[in-house]
Amino acid sequence: MALPKQHRLRHSREFSAVYRHGSKAVSEHLVVRVLAQNTAASPGLNEVKADPPKFGISISQKVSKRAVIRNRLKRQVRAAIRQLLPSIRCGLQIVVIVRPDSVECEYGEFLRELEQLLSKLEVIDGHS
Q: Classify residue 1: in a domain, yes or no.
A: no
Residues 3/72, Cβ–Cβ less than 8 Å: no
**Within 10 A of 82 (CB to CB), how many other CB atoms are there?**
15
Structurally, the chain folds into a number of domains equal to 1
Looking at residue 46, its pLDDT comes to 53
Q: Classify residue 96: in a domain, yes or no.
A: yes
**What are the pLDDT digits (tens) for 91-121?**
999 999 999 999 999 999 999 999 999 999 9
**What are the pLDDT digits (tens) for 4-35?**
899 999 999 999 999 999 999 999 999 999 99
Q: Classify residue 127: in a domain, yes or no.
A: no
Q: Classify residue 126: in a domain, yes or no.
A: no
CATH code: domain of residue 14? 3.30.230.10
Domain limits for position 112 = 8-120
pTM of the model: 0.86
